[in-house]
Structures are given as C-alpha cells and as structure tokens.
Structure 1
Amino acid sequence: MIDRKDLGSWMDGPPGEAGYVKGSALGLPASGRGAVAPFWRRPLSLIVDWGLCVGISALLFGGDPLANLILFAAVNVLFLTLFGVTPGQFLLRVRVVPVRGRSPMLLRAVVRTALMLLVLPAVVWNRDTQPLHDVVAGTAVVTL
C-alpha cells in the first residue's frame, strides 16, 4: 500500500535538486552582477512602474483605467527596448536580458509585456525563478 510519506506532502514544496543554482540552466552566474534577481525586487519594481503610470495618467487623462493600462504597456515596451530596464527596475537595480534565441529586443519586449498583462503567465514560475512571460520571450531578470 502507498503511504503518504512515499508521496511527499504539498507542504514540502516543489521537488528540486539539491545544490541546484537558480539561473544555471540559462547560463547565468550563481551570484553577483548578472545573477537571477531576488524575487522581491520583481513585484516591487512592478508596483513602482504601475504607480508612475497611474500618476501620469491621472495628470494627463484624468486617471482613465484604459489609459493606465496603455501607458503601462507603452512604458514597458519603450524602456525595455531602449534601455533593458523600466524605471522601477532601474530603481531596484535589476534588468531584463535576453537569454536565448536571436530575436530583437523590441519583439521580446512586446511579447513579454503582452503576456505580463494577462497576469497568469506572470505568476507561473520555473525552477530558475523565471516567470512564464520571460520563458516565452527568452529573457531573464538579473541584478545590475
């Protein structure tokens, strides 16, 4: 008979390899500049970017929700394409870098932003702490 101990528990967390370094499958260093960014910096940079866009939208468009969303998408695509960072990411010292493929950053930024706006791809992560929108776009968020 199968025992609960044989199956493990959901409280143990996802299965993982002992000693696995996040980002190693992507060719990123284990620590320091260029390593996978800590989790907490991602949502915090998103909040900073969203707050900036809401503030600008309030001044220019009366806080229209659709204007907030369009402005957020435009800021993400523009800043990621030109600089590799959004204003919030710059403040929190993280950057978006390509990790596979040869597509231009403009295409990566459009795909990444479109999937991020769907929310679900942004909350599904792999063992390299890379959300689904980064996996599809071929990018990773690393420390500066």
Structure 2
Amino acid sequence: MVPDANPQTFGDLEPSRWPGERLGLPEEGRGSVARAGRRILALLVDWGSAMLLSLLVTPYESVAYTWVTPLVFAVLQIVFIPTIGGSLGHRLFGMHVVAVEGGWVGFVRPIVRTGLLLLVIPALVWDSDQRGFHDKVARTVLIRS
C-alpha cells in the first residue's frame, strides 16, 4: 500500500527524519532547529536576568517580587526578540527566533510567544520539529545562529 502524498489526519503523517525537516531547515549547524540543551540554558539565563533586574525595584521577600519577575521576563522577551532576534540567553547560546514564513518576526509574535511561555505548559508540549506549542501558535522557530 502506497502512503497518501497529502495526509489528512495526524496519524497519516510520516515522522520527520530530523527536527525542522518539514520546515525546510537543515539537520544540523547554522539554521537548524535549536536543541533542548541550548534552549534550557538560555531560559535559565533569561529568568536569572529577570530576577536580578526585579531585585532593583522590589525586595526579594515581597509579594511584589513574585509578580515583577515574570513581568520583567516578558518585557525582556518582547523587546529583544524583534530587535536583536532573540533574548539575551538565546543570543548568548547562539540562537535566534525567526518567523516560519520568513521575514521580520514583528511585534505580535513575540507577545503571543512570551504569553504562552509564561504559562509553562505550552513550552513543554513539543512536536517532531522540537517546537514548543508557544512557537507553533506564534508561527516562530528557534534556530541556531
């Protein structure tokens, strides 16, 4: 039996040979999908930066600190993704965020992506291209620089 060239259901879709194959990205090197290790390290850098900046305006023991830190994290993501191509952590570990369709990522995609990232669960749900749900909804992909 020959598989359907245009699968209509999820179960009919052939598995990718490497993350990003369906997106037309290379298997490894520059332009390939950033792998989990780099992503996690970048997230730790970004969250740590947000915590440090939050300490400048709120004491650690305060209830405000628990709300200011995610807000600072969100602002850093939303400002840096469209301006320098990724967060400080992304850039430090050789990655950047791009629109799946190509071109400039814009302002809306980083807002959507960051909002879902702050919910945590969407970032833990990945597809075969190793894109989190937050990237799928925002139509972005985190690639190696």
Shorter-chain TM range is 0.7 to 0.9
Which structure 2 residue ranges, 5 or more long, are not aligned?
A: 1-12
- Give the corresponding residue for 2:54: 57
Q: Distance in 2 between matches of 1:50 and 1:23?
A: 26
Q: Identity rate of aligned residues, in percent?
A: 38
Per mean C-alpha deviation after superposition, the further-off stretch among 50-59 and 99-108 is 99-108
- Give the corresponding residue for 1:140: 141
- Give the corresponding residue for 1:99: 100
Task: Find the partner of 1:40 among 33, 37, 40.
Answer: 37
- Give the corresponding residue for 1:117: 118
Q: CA RMSD in A?
A: 1.9
- Displaced runs of 4 or more, over 6 A: none
How many Å apart are 1:100 and its aligned residue?
3.0
Q: Distance in 2 between matches of 1:112 and 1:97?
A: 12
Aligned residue pair count: 129
- Give the corresponding residue for 1:82: 83
Per mean C-alpha deviation after superposition, the further-off stretch among 100-109 and 45-54 is 100-109
Q: Distance in 2 between matches of 1:117 and 1:19?
A: 28
Deviations 1:9-66 (A, max 9, x none): xxxxxxx967712101112112210101121111110010000110111122224111
- Give the corresponding residue for 2:18: 21
Q: Distance in 1 between matches of 2:115 and 2:16?
A: 34
Which structure 1 residue ranges, 5 or more long, are not aligned?
A: 1-15
Change (3 A) 1:76 1:112: same
Deviations 1:99-144 (A, max 9, x none): 1387852110000000001111000000000110000101111111
